[in-house]
């Protein structure tokens, strides 16, 4: 069980802990409100002037089925609900046109669809395992930003990707000790247990990992982290990588061919009331309760 193997590996860099530029104003409520506003705007674009449909062809171990779903709103999870309760409960991520896809990411064109389970009969479970560990990383980030008193001003700096074989996951944070005696703080077994309990409680809430693609040319993504200069700088670096590198690509699902185009968006994920941007452009999170 993942709870028994939980590794809370937190890098508390001394040059970041006392950084006075980090705002002391809690960002969670403002970020969540802005995320919801952008989400509503995107949904309204697909509802007006008229609702369009997409044809989703499911090909999996249950056979083949064709579904007519709402463009830009329906997700693989919605498709699974039409097909089988087994797919809803056991699927980790979807495969859209043979590419990994978030269970809660809307479908915007005609496509083929299948689902990946941890012990699926016809898919390499590597993509499912990667999604699991990356989901754990995001939950760890949510835990660290919400478990401490506000005076410690914990802020996520980076979400490094590790090889699952390492058996753990990491979140880089900035941390304001608040007192000289805590400048070289090392978590005690009791404190690690408290953090472990906090993350287990979040996992037990059956929270969905909801992605929202935001244009890298828009200021909205920067505003999500306007009170966190360190994170804004890191996000700006991700922006530049996407804009300057011709190797940063994403699948263009509007084409029947596997044609790739330069990526123009970054995903912003919501987990409950927590909002964050993954560092990697190839990160996928599943919607299953982590138990």
pLDDT, tens only, 208-255: 899 998 876 666 676 677 767 777 777 767 666 655 543 433 433 333
Query: Would you state the pLDDT for residue 65?
Result: 96
Going from the C-alpha of 41 to that of each of 34, 48, 104, 109, the distances in angstroms are 11, 11, 17, 19
> Which among 226, 218, 219, 212 is positioned nearest to 277, based on CA atoms?
212
Contact assessment for residue 107 and residue 46, using Cβ atoms and an 8 Å cutoff: no
Tell me if residue 214 falls in helix, strand or coil: strand
Structure tokens at 235: 């996000």
Q: For residue range 130-151, list pLDDT tens digits in order.
A: 888 888 888 888 888 888 877 7
User: How big is the chain, counted in residues?
Assistant: 291
Of the segments 21-30, 64-73, 267-276, which one has the largest average pLDDT value? 64-73
User: Among 56-65, 116-125, 148-157, 215-224, where is mean pLDDT lowest?
Assistant: 215-224
Query: What are the phi and psi torsion angles at 273 (to 5°)?
Result: -100, 10
pLDDT of residue 154: 82
pLDDT in tens, 89-121: 989 999 999 999 999 999 999 999 999 988 876
Report the pLDDT value the prediction gives residue 185, as an integer from 0 to 100. 77
Distance in angstroms (rounded) separating the CA atoms of residues 80 and 286:
14
Residue indicated by tokens 């495969």: 95
Q: Choose the most confident range, by mean pLDDT, from 66-80, 178-192, 259-273.
A: 66-80
Average pLDDT, the chain: 75
Distance CA 128, CA 121 (A): 13
Residue 82 CB contacts under 8 Å (≥ 6 apart), including other chains: 67
């Amino acid at each position: 069980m993942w709870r028994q193997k939980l590794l809370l590996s937190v890098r508390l860099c001394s040059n970041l802990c006392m950084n006075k530029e980090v705002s002391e104003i809690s960002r969670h409520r403002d970020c969540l409100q802005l995320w919801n506003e952008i989400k509503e705007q995107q949904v309204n674009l697909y509802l007006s002037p008229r609702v369009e449909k997409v044809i989703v062809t499911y090909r999996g171990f249950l056979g083949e089925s064709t579904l007519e779903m709402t463009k830009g709103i329906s997700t693989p999870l919605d498709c699974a609900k039409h097909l089988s309760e087994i797919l809803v409960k056991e699927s980790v991520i979807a495969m859209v046109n043979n590419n990994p896809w978030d269970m809660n990411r809307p479908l915007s064109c005609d496509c083929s669809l299948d689902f990946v389970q941890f012990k699926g009969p016809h898919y390499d479970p590597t993509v499912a395992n990667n999604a699991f560990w990356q989901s754990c990383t995001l939950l760890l980030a949510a835990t660290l930003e919400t478990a401490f008193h506000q005076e410690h001003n914990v802020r996520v700096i980076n979400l490094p990707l590790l090889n699952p074989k390492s058996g753990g996951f990491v979140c880089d944070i900035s941390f304001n000790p608040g007192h000289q005696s805590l400048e070289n703080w090392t978590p005690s077994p009791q404190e690690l247990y408290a953090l472990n309990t906090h993350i287990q409680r979040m996992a037990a809430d059956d929270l969905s990992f909801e992605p929202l693609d935001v244009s890298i040319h828009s200021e909205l993504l920067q505003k999500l982290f306007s009170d966190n200069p360190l994170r804004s700088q890191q996000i700006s670096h991700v922006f530049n990588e996407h804009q300057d590198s011709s190797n940063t690509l994403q699948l263009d699902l509007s084409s029947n061919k596997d044609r790739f185009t330069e990526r123009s968006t970054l995903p912003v994920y919501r987990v409950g009331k927590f909002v964050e941007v993954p560092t990697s452009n190839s990160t996928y999170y599943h919607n299953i309760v982590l138990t």
